[in-house]
Amino acid sequence: MEYRDGVVRRAAWEVPHAAGRSLGSSSARRLARLMGSAEGLTEAGVTRIANRISPRVADQNPRLVKISPEWAATDIAVRRQGLRWRLDLRDNLQAVLYYAGRYEPAVTRFLRAELKPDDVVLDIGANIGLHSLGAARQLRELGGGKVIAFEPAADSMDKLRAAAELNGLADLITLVPVALGERKYQAALHADSRYDPADSGVRSLQADGEVVQDVPVIRLDDWVREQGLDRVDVVKLDVEGSEAAALAGATRTLVRFKPRAVLVEDKNPALRRRLHTALDELGYRSTGVTFDHNTLFRPDRTDREVLRRHSLR
Protein backbone atom coordinates (compact mmCIF):
# COMPACT_ATOMS: atom_id res chain seq x y z
CA MET A 1 0.00 0.00 0.00
CA GLU A 2 1.34 3.42 -0.95
CA TYR A 3 1.05 6.21 1.60
CA ARG A 4 1.08 9.83 0.51
CA ASP A 5 0.67 13.23 2.12
CA GLY A 6 -1.85 15.78 0.96
CA VAL A 7 -0.92 19.44 0.59
CA VAL A 8 -1.67 20.41 4.21
CA ARG A 9 -0.09 17.33 5.79
CA ARG A 10 2.99 17.66 3.60
CA ALA A 11 3.42 21.31 4.55
CA ALA A 12 3.11 20.44 8.24
CA TRP A 13 5.67 17.63 8.05
CA GLU A 14 8.12 19.86 6.17
CA VAL A 15 8.32 22.10 9.26
CA PRO A 16 10.61 19.69 11.22
CA HIS A 17 12.88 19.46 8.18
CA ALA A 18 13.12 23.23 7.99
CA ALA A 19 13.84 23.39 11.72
CA GLY A 20 16.52 20.76 11.32
CA ARG A 21 18.29 22.78 8.63
CA SER A 22 18.27 25.99 10.67
CA LEU A 23 18.29 24.83 14.32
CA GLY A 24 19.67 21.30 14.29
CA SER A 25 18.49 17.72 14.73
CA SER A 26 17.22 18.14 18.31
CA SER A 27 14.70 20.78 17.26
CA ALA A 28 13.66 18.72 14.25
CA ARG A 29 13.18 15.66 16.44
CA ARG A 30 11.04 17.51 18.99
CA LEU A 31 8.80 18.97 16.30
CA ALA A 32 8.47 15.60 14.56
CA ARG A 33 7.55 14.08 17.90
CA LEU A 34 4.69 16.56 18.27
CA MET A 35 3.50 15.86 14.72
CA GLY A 36 3.83 12.12 15.22
CA SER A 37 1.99 12.08 18.52
CA ALA A 38 -1.02 13.69 16.84
CA GLU A 39 -0.84 11.38 13.82
CA GLY A 40 -0.36 8.34 16.05
CA LEU A 41 -3.70 8.81 17.80
CA THR A 42 -5.19 6.42 15.23
CA GLU A 43 -3.90 2.96 14.38
CA ALA A 44 -3.66 3.97 10.72
CA GLY A 45 -1.56 6.91 11.84
CA VAL A 46 0.87 4.62 13.67
CA THR A 47 1.33 2.66 10.43
CA ARG A 48 1.89 5.91 8.56
CA ILE A 49 4.59 6.91 11.07
CA ALA A 50 6.26 3.51 10.59
CA ASN A 51 6.34 4.17 6.86
CA ARG A 52 7.84 7.60 7.44
CA ILE A 53 10.69 5.94 9.35
CA SER A 54 11.44 2.67 7.55
CA PRO A 55 14.19 2.87 4.92
CA ARG A 56 12.99 -0.38 3.33
CA VAL A 57 9.70 1.09 2.12
CA ALA A 58 10.92 4.60 1.34
CA ASP A 59 10.86 4.04 -2.44
CA GLN A 60 7.31 2.67 -2.20
CA ASN A 61 6.06 5.93 -0.66
CA PRO A 62 7.69 8.75 -2.65
CA ARG A 63 4.93 11.22 -1.76
CA LEU A 64 5.22 10.65 1.98
CA VAL A 65 7.43 13.05 3.96
CA LYS A 66 10.04 10.97 5.79
CA ILE A 67 11.43 11.23 9.29
CA SER A 68 15.16 11.70 8.81
CA PRO A 69 17.55 9.13 10.32
CA GLU A 70 19.80 12.11 11.07
CA TRP A 71 17.40 13.05 13.88
CA ALA A 72 17.98 9.78 15.72
CA ALA A 73 19.24 10.00 19.30
CA THR A 74 20.86 6.88 20.74
CA ASP A 75 19.69 7.32 24.35
CA ILE A 76 16.61 9.39 25.02
CA ALA A 77 14.30 9.14 28.05
CA VAL A 78 10.55 9.15 27.39
CA ARG A 79 7.28 7.98 28.84
CA ARG A 80 5.19 5.95 26.42
CA GLN A 81 2.08 3.79 26.91
CA GLY A 82 2.21 4.56 30.62
CA LEU A 83 5.77 3.24 30.97
CA ARG A 84 9.21 4.81 31.15
CA TRP A 85 11.81 3.97 28.53
CA ARG A 86 15.28 4.87 27.36
CA LEU A 87 15.20 4.57 23.58
CA ASP A 88 17.68 4.25 20.73
CA LEU A 89 15.97 5.84 17.73
CA ARG A 90 18.18 4.03 15.21
CA ASP A 91 15.88 1.07 15.84
CA ASN A 92 12.60 1.24 13.90
CA LEU A 93 10.46 -0.13 16.72
CA GLN A 94 11.86 2.34 19.21
CA ALA A 95 11.56 5.19 16.70
CA VAL A 96 7.89 4.42 16.06
CA LEU A 97 7.29 4.26 19.81
CA TYR A 98 9.01 7.63 20.24
CA TYR A 99 7.37 9.53 17.38
CA ALA A 100 3.90 7.93 17.32
CA GLY A 101 3.62 7.41 21.07
CA ARG A 102 2.84 3.70 20.72
CA TYR A 103 3.77 0.59 18.75
CA GLU A 104 1.56 -2.29 17.56
CA PRO A 105 -1.50 -0.78 19.25
CA ALA A 106 -3.76 -3.64 18.13
CA VAL A 107 -1.52 -6.22 19.85
CA THR A 108 -1.49 -4.06 22.99
CA ARG A 109 -5.28 -3.83 22.90
CA PHE A 110 -5.60 -7.59 22.42
CA LEU A 111 -3.37 -8.40 25.39
CA ARG A 112 -5.21 -5.94 27.60
CA ALA A 113 -8.50 -7.67 26.82
CA GLU A 114 -7.16 -11.23 26.85
CA LEU A 115 -5.13 -11.48 30.06
CA LYS A 116 -6.62 -12.98 33.23
CA PRO A 117 -5.38 -13.19 36.83
CA ASP A 118 -2.43 -15.57 37.32
CA ASP A 119 -1.83 -16.04 33.58
CA VAL A 120 1.58 -17.20 32.39
CA VAL A 121 2.52 -15.33 29.20
CA LEU A 122 5.36 -16.28 26.86
CA ASP A 123 6.73 -13.36 24.83
CA ILE A 124 9.01 -15.05 22.30
CA GLY A 125 11.05 -12.45 20.47
CA ALA A 126 10.45 -9.84 23.15
CA ASN A 127 12.81 -7.18 21.75
CA ILE A 128 12.99 -4.30 24.28
CA GLY A 129 9.96 -5.62 26.14
CA LEU A 130 7.18 -3.38 24.86
CA HIS A 131 4.55 -6.12 25.13
CA SER A 132 6.27 -7.95 28.00
CA LEU A 133 6.11 -4.87 30.20
CA GLY A 134 2.58 -4.01 29.12
CA ALA A 135 1.44 -7.55 29.95
CA ALA A 136 3.27 -7.50 33.29
CA ARG A 137 1.62 -4.23 34.26
CA GLN A 138 -1.78 -5.63 33.27
CA LEU A 139 -1.20 -8.79 35.35
CA ARG A 140 -0.17 -6.72 38.34
CA GLU A 141 -3.43 -4.79 38.09
CA LEU A 142 -5.31 -8.10 37.88
CA GLY A 143 -3.62 -9.44 41.01
CA GLY A 144 -0.68 -11.44 39.69
CA GLY A 145 0.79 -13.61 36.99
CA LYS A 146 4.05 -14.11 35.13
CA VAL A 147 5.64 -13.00 31.87
CA ILE A 148 8.52 -15.00 30.42
CA ALA A 149 10.45 -12.98 27.84
CA PHE A 150 12.75 -14.73 25.36
CA GLU A 151 15.15 -12.39 23.55
CA PRO A 152 18.60 -13.34 22.21
CA ALA A 153 19.95 -9.87 21.30
CA ALA A 154 22.06 -8.59 24.19
CA ASP A 155 21.35 -4.89 23.61
CA SER A 156 17.59 -5.47 23.44
CA MET A 157 17.70 -7.65 26.56
CA ASP A 158 19.65 -4.95 28.40
CA LYS A 159 16.95 -2.40 27.55
CA LEU A 160 14.22 -4.84 28.58
CA ARG A 161 15.91 -5.50 31.92
CA ALA A 162 16.46 -1.78 32.57
CA ALA A 163 12.86 -0.91 31.67
CA ALA A 164 11.50 -3.68 33.90
CA GLU A 165 13.47 -2.30 36.83
CA LEU A 166 12.68 1.32 35.99
CA ASN A 167 8.96 0.57 35.98
CA GLY A 168 8.95 -1.68 39.05
CA LEU A 169 7.95 -4.77 37.10
CA ALA A 170 11.08 -6.92 37.39
CA ASP A 171 9.42 -9.33 39.84
CA LEU A 172 6.78 -10.26 37.26
CA ILE A 173 9.13 -10.86 34.29
CA THR A 174 11.53 -13.75 33.79
CA LEU A 175 14.23 -12.85 31.25
CA VAL A 176 15.64 -15.63 29.08
CA PRO A 177 18.49 -14.43 26.77
CA VAL A 178 18.18 -17.13 24.08
CA ALA A 179 16.59 -17.78 20.71
CA LEU A 180 14.08 -20.60 20.33
CA GLY A 181 14.28 -23.27 17.62
CA GLU A 182 13.74 -26.93 16.86
CA ARG A 183 17.11 -28.05 18.26
CA LYS A 184 19.89 -26.85 20.54
CA TYR A 185 22.88 -25.16 18.88
CA GLN A 186 24.87 -21.93 18.58
CA ALA A 187 23.86 -19.55 15.79
CA ALA A 188 24.85 -16.20 14.33
CA LEU A 189 22.35 -13.38 14.79
CA HIS A 190 22.51 -11.18 11.69
CA ALA A 191 21.51 -7.60 11.03
CA ASP A 192 19.29 -6.86 8.02
CA SER A 193 21.35 -5.15 5.30
CA ARG A 194 18.41 -2.86 4.47
CA TYR A 195 18.52 -1.30 7.94
CA ASP A 196 20.98 0.23 10.37
CA PRO A 197 22.88 -2.55 12.25
CA ALA A 198 21.51 -1.01 15.46
CA ASP A 199 17.96 -1.82 14.32
CA SER A 200 17.39 -4.78 16.63
CA GLY A 201 13.82 -5.50 15.58
CA VAL A 202 14.79 -6.82 12.14
CA ARG A 203 17.72 -9.00 13.16
CA SER A 204 17.32 -12.70 12.56
CA LEU A 205 19.14 -16.00 12.14
CA GLN A 206 18.51 -15.81 8.36
CA ALA A 207 19.22 -12.15 7.57
CA ASP A 208 21.90 -11.11 5.11
CA GLY A 209 23.65 -8.37 7.10
CA GLU A 210 26.64 -8.38 9.39
CA VAL A 211 26.85 -10.75 12.33
CA VAL A 212 25.79 -8.89 15.47
CA GLN A 213 26.55 -11.68 17.94
CA ASP A 214 26.52 -15.42 18.45
CA VAL A 215 23.46 -16.61 20.35
CA PRO A 216 22.34 -19.88 21.94
CA VAL A 217 19.32 -21.53 20.36
CA ILE A 218 17.30 -23.93 22.54
CA ARG A 219 14.02 -25.83 22.41
CA LEU A 220 11.16 -24.33 24.40
CA ASP A 221 10.16 -27.85 25.47
CA ASP A 222 13.57 -28.39 27.07
CA TRP A 223 13.49 -25.05 28.91
CA VAL A 224 9.95 -25.65 30.21
CA ARG A 225 10.92 -29.09 31.50
CA GLU A 226 14.11 -27.84 33.17
CA GLN A 227 12.30 -24.94 34.85
CA GLY A 228 9.34 -27.06 35.98
CA LEU A 229 6.82 -24.72 34.40
CA ASP A 230 3.30 -25.97 35.07
CA ARG A 231 1.11 -23.75 32.87
CA VAL A 232 1.14 -21.54 29.79
CA ASP A 233 -1.90 -19.43 28.97
CA VAL A 234 -0.92 -16.95 26.24
CA VAL A 235 1.91 -17.05 23.70
CA LYS A 236 3.14 -14.21 21.49
CA LEU A 237 5.63 -15.37 18.86
CA ASP A 238 7.53 -12.93 16.63
CA VAL A 239 11.00 -14.12 15.65
CA GLU A 240 11.59 -12.72 12.16
CA GLY A 241 10.94 -15.78 10.05
CA SER A 242 11.91 -18.50 12.55
CA GLU A 243 8.38 -19.00 13.88
CA ALA A 244 7.93 -22.50 12.40
CA ALA A 245 11.27 -23.66 13.86
CA ALA A 246 10.35 -22.26 17.28
CA LEU A 247 7.01 -24.10 17.13
CA ALA A 248 8.79 -27.35 16.19
CA GLY A 249 10.71 -27.11 19.46
CA ALA A 250 7.58 -26.27 21.46
CA THR A 251 5.23 -29.14 20.57
CA ARG A 252 5.11 -30.79 23.99
CA THR A 253 4.52 -27.45 25.70
CA LEU A 254 1.66 -26.46 23.40
CA VAL A 255 0.01 -29.89 23.47
CA ARG A 256 0.37 -30.33 27.23
CA PHE A 257 -0.70 -26.86 28.40
CA LYS A 258 -2.95 -25.90 25.47
CA PRO A 259 -2.58 -22.11 25.85
CA ARG A 260 -5.88 -20.47 24.98
CA ALA A 261 -4.26 -17.90 22.68
CA VAL A 262 -1.24 -18.12 20.37
CA LEU A 263 -0.47 -14.87 18.55
CA VAL A 264 2.04 -15.35 15.73
CA GLU A 265 3.60 -12.89 13.28
CA ASP A 266 2.15 -13.92 9.94
CA LYS A 267 3.17 -11.35 7.34
CA ASN A 268 5.41 -13.49 5.11
CA PRO A 269 3.28 -15.25 2.44
CA ALA A 270 6.14 -17.63 1.62
CA LEU A 271 6.13 -19.00 5.19
CA ARG A 272 2.38 -18.89 5.85
CA ARG A 273 1.45 -22.40 4.71
CA ARG A 274 4.19 -24.02 6.81
CA LEU A 275 3.27 -21.95 9.85
CA HIS A 276 -0.46 -22.70 9.66
CA THR A 277 0.21 -26.39 9.02
CA ALA A 278 2.46 -26.62 12.08
CA LEU A 279 -0.20 -25.09 14.31
CA ASP A 280 -2.95 -27.21 12.77
CA GLU A 281 -0.98 -30.34 13.68
CA LEU A 282 -0.91 -29.10 17.26
CA GLY A 283 -4.69 -28.68 17.33
CA TYR A 284 -4.85 -24.93 16.64
CA ARG A 285 -6.88 -23.04 14.08
CA SER A 286 -6.53 -19.53 12.81
CA THR A 287 -9.37 -17.31 13.99
CA GLY A 288 -8.95 -15.21 10.87
CA VAL A 289 -8.27 -12.21 13.09
CA THR A 290 -4.98 -10.32 12.84
CA PHE A 291 -3.47 -7.66 15.07
CA ASP A 292 -0.68 -5.64 13.43
CA HIS A 293 0.25 -8.56 11.11
CA ASN A 294 -0.02 -11.07 13.97
CA THR A 295 -2.60 -13.83 13.50
CA LEU A 296 -4.53 -15.17 16.47
CA PHE A 297 -4.79 -18.96 16.80
CA ARG A 298 -7.05 -20.75 19.29
CA PRO A 299 -7.12 -24.44 20.27
CA ASP A 300 -10.05 -26.06 18.51
CA ARG A 301 -9.65 -29.63 19.66
CA THR A 302 -7.76 -31.93 22.01
CA ASP A 303 -8.01 -35.19 20.13
CA ARG A 304 -6.17 -38.41 20.72
CA GLU A 305 -4.24 -38.15 17.48
CA VAL A 306 -2.69 -34.82 18.51
CA LEU A 307 -1.76 -36.21 21.93
CA ARG A 308 -0.41 -39.48 20.51
CA ARG A 309 1.65 -37.80 17.78
CA HIS A 310 3.42 -35.38 20.06
CA SER A 311 3.75 -37.47 23.20
CA LEU A 312 6.24 -39.62 21.30
CA ARG A 313 8.62 -36.75 20.51
**Mean pLDDT (whole number) for 60-68:** 93
Tens-place pLDDT, residues 135-180: 999 999 999 999 999 999 999 999 999 999 999 999 999 999 999 9
Q: Which class for 193: exposed (0-12), middle (13-18), buried (19 or more C-beta within 10 A)? A: exposed
Please check whether residue 207 is in contact with residue 192, taking contact to mean a CB–CB distance below 8 angstroms: yes
**CB of 87 closer than 8 Å to CB of 78:** yes
- Alpha carbon 33 to its chain's center: 21
pLDDT at 78: 96
User: Torsions phi, psi of 151, nearest 5?
Assistant: -155, 115
Q: What is the pLDDT of residues 200-253, one digit of tens each?
A: 878 888 778 889 899 999 999 999 999 999 999 999 999 877 889 999 999 999
Q: Does position 198 have pLDDT exceeding 90, yes or no?
A: no
Distance CA(174)–CA(232), nearest Å, equals 14
Contact predicate 299/279, CB 8 Å: no
- Among 135, 132, 134, smallest CA distance to 80 is for 134
Least confident of 62-76, 222-236, 269-283: 269-283
- Give the pLDDT score at 303: 58
Whether the predicted pLDDT of 308 surpasses 70: no
> Measured between alpha carbons, how far is 136 from 141 in angstroms, rounded to an integer?
9
